Amino acid sequence: MNTVYRWQDAPSSEFAVIGHPISHSLSPKMHMAAFAARGMSSSYVAIEVHPGEVAEALDHLATLGYFGVNVTVPHKEDAYAWCHEHSEVAVKLRVCNTLDLRRRFGTNTDGEGFARSLDGFTFENRRALVLGAGGSARSILDSLQSNHWHISLWNRTQSRADALVSEFGFEAEILSLPDIIGHSLIVNTTSASLDGQRLPIRWADAMPSALAYDLAYGKGLTTFLVDASEQGLAVLDGRRMLMEQGAAAFEFWWNVPAPRAEMLAALQ
């Protein structure tokens, strides 16, 4: 569990992650391991920012001399709005998860981190089912589409899935039910498993070689991954993606290679 600061009480530091809630985040541990591995004396803290306070909080951190900030749910759209300049992928998705406060420049490393997290896996086909239509789904859909996957999308409220596909031009088949038949990759972008909720998935229908991927992570397997593993499927939680998007953020800030092995070890 992190020491969590209100943004009004933010300590002297160079880097932070902001979100709501934020106490569960492993980003401070991961980035402090990266700094240590590169012989850097910088610090990285977790800061609680409530919805509606993002711009004020980022202004305050910039005034305190913070250099870089990572942004997690539910603030990625507000972080995009705060920035004066953006990377190409941030403009495309209109969300930022990595900021340079001195330049008010924002980028998004989620899609890159997701794609790299799949390195080493072999898939029977390139058919992916994405569950959820929130901010995280944007980056996942963009990454899958860029890497030539056939995408199916399901959300409890189908109109949100319709709107997501329409607004951003994703090529995805929208499903009325989370039918996993024929998909070699099943990605949960919802927060349901963090609350112990189960999505209405018939795991017995899964391809035996399919990978169940939950962007969430905890001390053990999420309920989503427990259900998948009981069916004999390979499972992956969000820690590898966290490491890869964190490594991309590190390289964005420092322009030196990130110590990926040390960062991943800090998350295990």
Query: What fold does the segment set 4-108+241-267 form as a domain?
Result: Rossmann fold (3.40.50)
Q: What pLDDT is stored for residue 158 in this prediction?
A: 97
CA angle 155, 242, 144 (to 5 degrees): 50
Residue partners of 32: CB distance under 8 A and separation at least 6: 43, 44, 266
Q: Return the CATH class of domain 113-237.
A: alpha beta
Told to judge if 29 belongs to the known catalytic residues of this protein, a careful annotator would answer no
Q: What pLDDT is stored for residue 68 in this prediction?
A: 98
| pLDDT by residue, tens only, the chain of 268 residues | 679 999 999 999 999 999 998 988 999 999 999 999 999 999 999 999 999 999 999 999 999 999 999 998 889 999 999 999 999 999 999 999 999 999 999 999 999 999 999 999 999 999 999 999 988 899 999 999 999 999 999 999 999 999 999 999 999 999 999 999 999 999 999 988 777 889 999 999 999 999 999 998 878 899 999 999 999 999 999 999 999 999 999 999 999 999 999 999 999 8
Domain ranges of the chain: 4-108+241-267, 113-237
The answer to whether 4-108+241-267 and 113-237 have equal CATH topology is yes
Q: What pLDDT is stored for residue 88 in this prediction?
A: 96
Q: What pLDDT is stored for residue 1 in this prediction?
A: 64
**CA 95/CA 164 separation, integer angstroms:** 13
Q: Choosing from 29, 76, 92, 219, which is the catalytic residue? A: 76
